[in-house]
């Protein structure tokens, strides 16, 4: 069940509930328990006072918000395809690649993420959103080996995301 989706009168069979839980688990942690444990360790490293359950719940909230922001940014970019093809001035391309937060689609998605995340400040503290978003971006880059980037690299992304978040607070986007 996605954020904000709650239908008291929708009755599901046990098989349907199990299927949805399996689909969610595959979306949340496509590489299984190994991914979940390594991610939990990273969360603990950056947010040592946060419990494992709260950390994972906050991470998944941010993952879903970022996915929605990315989908929205890609839709916006696709709808502008009839106009002249524009390229991102910083990378020279209009394709999003990896965790390069200077690429057009990712940059727009990140800005939208921070705007949307304000509504969920009861679930994820505002000062923690750049940390969780950096982990979401790192998580998107792993493969079945579940090798996350080094903590210093993630810290660099956190600082970049902090700067973007501050720009949003100042009304620059």
pLDDT in tens, 40-87: 999 999 999 999 999 999 999 999 999 999 998 887 766 655 444 433
pLDDT at position 21 over 70: yes
Is residue 97 in some structural domain? Answer: yes
Contact 131, 58 (CB under 8 A): no
Is residue 5 in some structural domain? Answer: no
pLDDT at position 8 over 80: no
Quick one: tokens of 124?
């994820």
Is residue 106 in some structural domain? Answer: yes
pLDDT at position 170 over 60: yes
Is residue 147 in some structural domain? Answer: yes
pLDDT tens, residue by residue, 89-135: 333 333 333 445 556 688 899 999 999 999 998 889 999 999 999 99
Q: Choose between 95 and 170: higher pLDDT.
A: 170
Is residue 141 in some structural domain? Answer: yes
Domain count, the chain: 1
Contact 40, 52 (CB under 8 A): yes
Tokens 């909230």 belong to which residue?
A: 61
Is residue 6 in some structural domain? Answer: no
Is residue 68 in some structural domain? Answer: yes
Helices (H), ranges, 31-150: 32-46, 52-79, 104-117, 129-139
**Separation of alpha carbons 142 and 8, rounded Å:** 37
Contact 149, 78 (CB under 8 A): no
pTM (predicted TM-score): 0.78
**Reduced DSSP (H G I as helix, E B as strand, rest coil) percent helix, strand, coil of the chain, to 5:** 65, 0, 35
pLDDT at position 168 over 50: yes
Structural domain range at position 78: 14-169
**Separation of alpha carbons 43 and 52, rounded Å:** 8
Is residue 58 in some structural domain? Answer: yes
């Amino acid at each position: 069940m996605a954020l904000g989706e709650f239908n008291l009168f929708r009755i599901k069979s046990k098989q349907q509930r199990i299927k949805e839980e399996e689909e969610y688990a595959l979306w949340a942690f496509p590489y299984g328990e190994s991914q979940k444990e390594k991610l939990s360790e990273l969360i603990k490293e950056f947010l040592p006072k946060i419990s494992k359950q709260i950390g994972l719940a906050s991470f998944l909230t941010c993952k879903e918000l970022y996915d929605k922001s990315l989908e929205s940014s890609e839709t916006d970019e696709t709808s502008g395809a009839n106009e002249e093809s524009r390229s991102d001035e910083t990378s020279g391309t209009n394709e999003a690649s990896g965790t390069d937060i200077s690429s057009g689609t990712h940059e727009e998605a990140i800005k939208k993420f921070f705007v949307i995340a304000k509504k969920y400040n009861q679930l994820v503290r505002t000062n923690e959103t750049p940390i969780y978003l950096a982990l979401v971006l790192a998580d998107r880059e792993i493969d079945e080996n579940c090798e996350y980037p080094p903590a210093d690299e993630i810290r660099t992304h956190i600082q970049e995301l902090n700067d973007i978040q501050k720009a949003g607070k100042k009304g620059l986007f």
